[in-house]
A and B are shown apart, each in its own frame.
Chain A
């Protein structure tokens, strides 16, 4: 029998039980669709975060006080005997590799202005901060490059804070009190939305030195630096380390490059995607059980046919191939339908819920299809073997 004949024969028998075949294929289709849909969500999340993070300045390095803590966040961020200072940042900025930098000291304070009051997150930063936050001003300008030790008391508002305190009127030039001290509004940031649950619109930026004063502390929570792209990150990290050890006499800080953050996130998301794919595959497994059952039934029902085939000269091998082919056809049919439905569903979901990042992951898509076919193969082996093992006379006598 040629391959074409086998295909013709099997499609005939698949088509002769249309409802049964479609139900069998449906089992596989549901599994494949689930895998495709779930991994599309995972991949979408991955892409979304990647994009968010790549906006936050490439080639950036974060330096925190204290050694890396057990839970990722160093306790040194809160208090340390040897804090990171603005002077440290200035020294880092003088390194030839460094293109931009910002100190960071965050806190919460009361704002008063335009006869309104509000409690808001306050970010003490430097003029270079927008690169690292991936934000731009919508109105006015960002903090000017004053002397980092004694900057003028300017404040740049997040879009939500501006809405709440000034509505649609122009806040530029307005004076406001932050934690009792006087500041002048010189800019408003464009809306940026949430990043990992942190509302980037509900905050204000003031010069870091002013924030240290406000919160009555000397230590920064973080210094971010951006280096020129033509220096390898390792070399920059080494230079930063050398400089800070020279200044502190001691390695009492931790350094994380943006690449490291993204790599970690990537591997976490890879695990996540694999996990959801595995979860979806449970359905695929059940679909496989379905193919096995239906093929077993088919072999039993078609004993006379098998007997006839053998009587007119088919070999056991032929019979085996026929049933195996049928099982694979069913699985691939289901796999293909599942693929179309899953991918279509993912796209629809992306359109219907724009907040939900959806990206179809081609490797997982092909993987799901391949898995479906393999399942068809495995599920078909035993029934096909049974068919082949039937004695022709016995098979003919059945019925």
Chain B
């Protein structure tokens, strides 16, 4: 018997009971679309987070003071101190490296800012002019921090837009003097709205030169050093060169940790992919349930079509032919159901994207393939028993309807 003929026979059998067929399609479709939607949520979250990082350029090295060797102890190293600071002089030495395009040291902190009688507790970021281009932010009015030697303290600052409106309402902020902690700074720029970039809320932050931040917070150490290499290709060379530089300056100790964007990204990718897989896996359980339904209905079909099966056998149908007829029927059911599910799922995802334009929800290709394969496999596996039952019917009994 030809495949096309088998397909046609199975299709006519399926179309004979529209309600029943519709229900089996719905069951499979629910499972498949649930897999798609849930994995698209995970994928959307992943794309959102990694997108935030990616926008910061791929040729970026982040240098942290202190060496993190153990897996568990990462937290204090990242947040606390290290006995030998990474100093501004280290930063200057690193900036001279042949693969380095520019560096931006960062000292974050908290302080109180006041203008006339208004006061706010804010995040302060001591950094250099290069920060703006490395992090992809810019001043909307005035300018960002001036290009100077790194270690020069200057009483100037750049403020975020939210902070500006809170302190000055609609008045012009440029050129005004504000008090930060026990020092005075002149505002030379207002940042463009940027929201949160790499965990810093730009709109509410205050930027001051790194040298001024050292004085304000009475610290020598740099919290982070952002290093932009000349190209992505020289990342490794830059990293080695940088470690050598620090080693030479720290008496043979390479007591720093260098993190690449890639490492961070791949960690996030792993986490979110695992999340998507878990969500999809839970949703896929429903495909097994859909499989039991298909099996059940196929069993009913076998008993209802007993006489037909008997006749087929009388006409010389082989055991294999009958098995493949019924298997094909369950496969078609699950395949159509999966197709409906993919369509519905994609529609729902399109809806999600319309509702939340800032996040790119998208069912990953592996999820679509896995969902459809699982649906199909489930239909086939659960179809085996009814098909075998059909094939082993005794023709005489089947014909007499006994």
B-contacting residues of A (Cβ < 8 Å)? 19-20, 23-24, 26-27, 30-31, 34, 38, 65-67, 69-71, 73-82, 105-110, 118-123, 178-180, 194, 197-199, 202-203, 211, 214-218, 221, 250-252, 276, 279-280, 282-283, 285-287, 289-290, 292-294, 296-297, 301
Contact = CB atoms under 8 A, between A and B. Distances in A.
Contacts of B213: 79
A286 B30 contact: yes
Given A118-B69, A280-B285, 10 more contacts: A66-B109, A69-B123, A81-B111, A107-B82, A109-B66, A119-B67, A215-B83, A216-B85, A290-B296, A294-B293
B72 A198 contact: yes
B299 A66 contact: no
Given A80-B111, A286-B31, A293 B76 contact: no
Give the one of B31, B77, B304 with max A CB within 10 A: B77
B223 A217 contact: no
A216 B297 CA distance: 75
Contacts of B204: 70
Contacts of A107: 66, 76-77, 80-83
A24 B296 contact: yes
Interface in B105-134: 107-112, 121, 123-124
B72 A108 contact: no
Contact of A70 (B34, B196, B216, B283): B196
Contact of B108 (A67, A75, A214, A279): A75
Most buried by A among B23, B81, B213: B81
A33 B223 CA distance: 50
Contacts of B24: 293
25 contacts: A24-B296, A30-B292, A74-B110, A76-B110, A78-B79, A81-B216, A108-B66, A108-B80, A119-B68, A119-B69, A120-B70, A194-B72, A216-B220, A217-B81, A251-B121, A282-B282, A283-B31, A283-B286, A283-B288, A286-B293, A293-B27, A293-B296, A294-B293, A301-B300, A301-B304
B365 interface: no
Nearest to B199: A71
Nearest to B22: A293
Nearest to A197: B72
A108 B23 contact: no
Given A20-B296, A107-B80, A297-B20, A121 B283 contact: no
B343 interface: no
B219 interface: yes
A105 B79 CA distance: 10
Contacts of A105: 80-81
Nearest to A73: B79
B217 A79 contact: yes
B287 to A, nearest CB: 8
A203 B181 contact: no
Nearest to A181: B83
A78 B108 contact: yes
Q: Which 4 A-B pairs have the closest CB atoms?
A: A199-B72, A215-B81, A79-B109, A179-B83
A77 B199 CA distance: 15
Given A80-B109, A108-B76, A216-B221, A289 B82 contact: no
A279 B249 CA distance: 56
B82 A108 contact: yes
A214 B292 CA distance: 66
Interface of B: 19-20, 23-24, 26-27, 30-31, 34, 38, 66-73, 75-77, 79-85, 107-112, 121, 123-124, 180-182, 196, 199, 201, 204, 213, 216-221, 223, 253, 255, 279, 282-283, 285-286, 288-290, 292-293, 295-297, 299-300, 304
A215 B110 contact: no
A368 B19 CA distance: 28
Contacts of B30: 282, 285-286, 289
Contacts of B72: 194, 197-199, 202
A70 to B, nearest CB: 5
A277 to B, nearest CB: 11
A14 B293 CA distance: 16
A150 to B, nearest CB: 19
Residue of B72, B111, B181, B220 most packed against chain A (CB within 10 A): B72
A102 to B, nearest CB: 15
Contacts of B71: 199
Nearest to B290: A286
B386 to A, nearest CB: 10
A66 B292 CA distance: 59
Nearest to A289: B27
Nearest to B385: A19
A221 B79 CA distance: 9
A106 B289 contact: no
A293 B111 contact: no
Nearest to B38: A279
A318 to B, nearest CB: 24
Contact of B283 (A24, A77, A279): A279
B73 A285 contact: no
B256 to A, nearest CB: 11
Contacts of B290: 286, 289-290
Nearest to B294: A290
Contacts of B295: 23
Contacts of A287: 289
A211 B80 CA distance: 10
Contacts of B77: 107-108, 121
B39 to A, nearest CB: 12
Contact of A80 (B31, B182, B217): B217
B115 to A, nearest CB: 16
B293 A27 contact: yes
Contact of A202 (B31, B73, B182, B216): B73
Given A197-B72, A215-B81, A216-B221, A27 B292 contact: yes
